[in-house]
Amino acid sequence: MKLRIEKAVYGGAGLAHQTERDAAGRTVFVPFTLPGELIEANLLEQKAGFGEASLVEVLSASEARVEPSCAHFGQCGGCQYQHAAYSTQVQMKTDILRETLERAGLMALPSIQTHTAEPWAYRNRTRLRVAEFDGLLSVGYNRRGSNEFLAIRECPILAPLLWQAAEVLTQIAAEESPAARWIRNAGEVEFFTTSDETRLQMTVFARKEQAGFSAFCERMRLLMPELAGANISLLFTEGPKRRTKIPRQLESWGAGGLSYRAAGEDYWVSSGGFFQVNRFLVDQLVRIVTAGRQGAVAWDLYAGVGLFSRALARTFQQVVAVEAAANDLSRSFKGTGKRAVESTTVDFLRSAVVQRERPELIVMDPPRAGVGAEVCALLARISAPEIVYVSCDPVTLARDLRSLVDAGYHLAELHMVDMFPQTFHLETVVILRR
103-117+278-433 maps to which CATH number?
3.40.50.150
End-to-end CA distance of the chain: 51
Mean predicted lDDT score pLDDT of the chain: 94
DSSP state letter for 309: H
Question: Which range is least confidently modeled, 64-73, 231-240, 279-288?
Answer: 231-240
Quote the pLDDT of residue 400. 98
Whether the pLDDT of residue 21 is over 90: the answer is: no
Per-residue confidence at 248, pLDDT binned at 50, 70, 90? low
Q: Mean pLDDT, to the nearest integer, of 385-397?
A: 98
What is the signed CA dihedral for 402, 407, 409, 410, rounded to 10 degrees? 40
Contact criterion met (CB below 8 Å) for 398 and 104: yes
Quote the pLDDT of residue 48. 83
Name the amino acid, one letter, at 4: R
Whether the pLDDT of residue 96 is over 80: the answer is: yes
Q: Mean pLDDT, to the nearest integer, of 239-256?
A: 67
Whether the pLDDT of residue 372 is over 60: the answer is: yes
Quote the pLDDT of residue 209. 87
Give the span between the Cα atoms of 193 and 126, in whole angstroms: 9
Q: Which residues of 16-50 are buried (b: 16+ CB within 10 A; e: fewer)?
A: bebeeeeeeebebbbbbbbbebbbebebeeeeeee
Nearest to 163 by CA among 133, 137, 125: 125
Q: Mean pLDDT, to the nearest integer, of 273-281?
A: 96
The predicted model scores a pTM of: 0.94
Q: Mean pLDDT, to the nearest integer, of 49-53?
A: 93
Q: Which residues are catalytic?
A: 392
DSSP state letter for 360: S
Q: Mean pLDDT, to the nearest integer, of 145-172?
A: 97
Angle at 410 (CA atoms; ends 96, 10), nearest 5 degrees:
15
Question: 399 or 236: whose pLDDT is higher?
Answer: 399
Q: Mean pLDDT, to the nearest integer, of 103-124?
A: 97
Whether the pLDDT of residue 236 is over 60: the answer is: yes
Per-residue confidence at 245, pLDDT binned at 50, 70, 90? very low
Contact criterion met (CB below 8 Å) for 28 and 52: yes
Question: 185 or 312: whose pLDDT is higher?
Answer: 312
Give the span between the Cα atoms of 93 and 88, in whole angstroms: 9
Q: Do domains 2-65 and 125-260 have the same CATH topology?
A: yes
Whether the pLDDT of residue 244 is over 50: the answer is: no
Asked if CATH classification 2.40.50.1070 holds for the domain at 125-260, the reply, yes or no, is yes
Query: Which sequence spans correspond to the domains of the chain?
Result: 2-65, 103-117+278-433, 125-260
CATH of 2-65, one of 2.40.50.140, 3.40.50.80, 3.30.70.260, 3.40.47.10: 2.40.50.140
Contact criterion met (CB below 8 Å) for 188 and 128: yes
Quote the pLDDT of residue 247. 37
Q: List, for residues 411-431, the tens digit of each pLDDT value.
A: 999 999 999 999 999 999 999
Contact criterion met (CB below 8 Å) for 370 and 396: yes
Q: Mean pLDDT, to the nearest integer, of 354-378?
A: 97
